Amino acid sequence: MSKIAVVTGGVRGIGRGISIGLKQAGYTVIATYQSNDAFAKELHTDFGIDILKFDVSDFNSCEMAINTIKNRYGSVQVLVNNAGITKDAALHKMSTDQWQAVIRTNLDSVFNMSRLVIEDMRAASFGRIINISSVNAQKGQAGQTNYCASKAGVLGFTKALALETSGKGITVNAIAPGYIDTDMVRAIPEAILDKIISLIPMQRLGTVDEIAKMVQYLASDEAAYITGSTISLNGGQYMS
C-alpha cells in the first residue's frame, strides 16, 4: 500500500511540483489549498492528485481536514509543510495585519499540521516531516521582516521537533530554496530579475523539479539517517 503524503499549498508553484513528484514516486498525495480553485482542479484532472480546500493557518480547520484525510485514506505518513505567502513592506510601514497574516500562514500552519499528525507518526514509529523554508530565512531580505521571521522560525521548529522524535522513527528536515523558476518569480520585472540572477553564483534560477526531487529523497527510506537538517537549494546564493 502506498504511503499517504500531504502537501500544504500543493496546487501551484513549488507545491505543485512537489505534489506531482510524490505522486509519480508512488505516494497517495493530498494537495491542500485555500483559494486557487482553478489550479486545484487542473492538478486533480491532469495528474489524479486528490485536493482538499481549507485554511492551514487555522487550527480547527486543519483538525477537520486531517480527520477527513484519516477517515478517507488512513494516517498521514509524509507531511510537506509548503504553504506560504508574502506581504512585503519595510517594517516602519508594515501593518499588524501584514505581520500576522504571514506569521499565521507560514509558521502557525507548520505547528498546526505537524501537531495533528505527530501522534500517529509516533504510534507507528515512522514519519517524515519536510518543511519548506527559504534562503531569505538564512540571509535576510529588506522589506521582508515578517516573511524572514516566519521562515527562520520554521528552521528552529525543524531542529527542535527533530530532537523530540529522533528515537521514534520520524525524521524532520527543512529545505531552504533560493529563487526558483515559478510564475511568481517570473512576474518580477525583467531588469530586477536579471540583477537577482547575476548575484547567484550558478547564474540561473532553480527549478521546481530540483526541489521536488529533494523532497522525494527526504521522504524516502534511504534518508532515514537525516534529521534536523536544512538543505540549501539556492545555487550558491547563500552558503552557511
Q: What is the pLDDT at residue 240?
A: 80
Exposure of 161 in the CB half-sphere (CA atoms within 13 A): 27
pTM: 0.97
Active site (annotated) includes residue 147? yes
Which whole number is the average pLDDT over 167-173? 98
User: At residue 1, does pLDDT exceed 80?
Assistant: no
Buried-state track 111-150, b at ≥16 Cβ within 10 A, e below 16: bbbbebbbebbbeeebbbbbbbbbbbbbeeeeebbbbbbb
- 67 — pLDDT class (breaks 50, 70, 90): very high
* Average pLDDT of every residue of the chain: 97
Among 27, 33, 147, 179, the one annotated catalytic:
147
The proportion of the chain whose per-residue pLDDT surpasses 90, expressed as a percent, equals 96
User: At residue 134, does pLDDT exceed 90?
Assistant: yes
- 175 — pLDDT class (breaks 50, 70, 90): very high
- 183 — pLDDT class (breaks 50, 70, 90): confident
Q: What is the pLDDT at residue 78?
A: 98
Q: What is the pLDDT at residue 186?
A: 86
User: At residue 184, does pLDDT exceed 90?
Assistant: no
Instruction: Report pLDDT digits (tens) over 139-149.
Output: 999 999 999 99
Domains of the chain (ranges, CATH numbers): 4-233 (3.40.50.720)
Instruction: Report pLDDT digits (tens) over 5-30.
Output: 999 999 999 999 999 999 999 999 99
Which whole number is the average pLDDT over 87-105? 98
Do 16 and 32 form a contact (C-beta atoms < 8 A)?
no
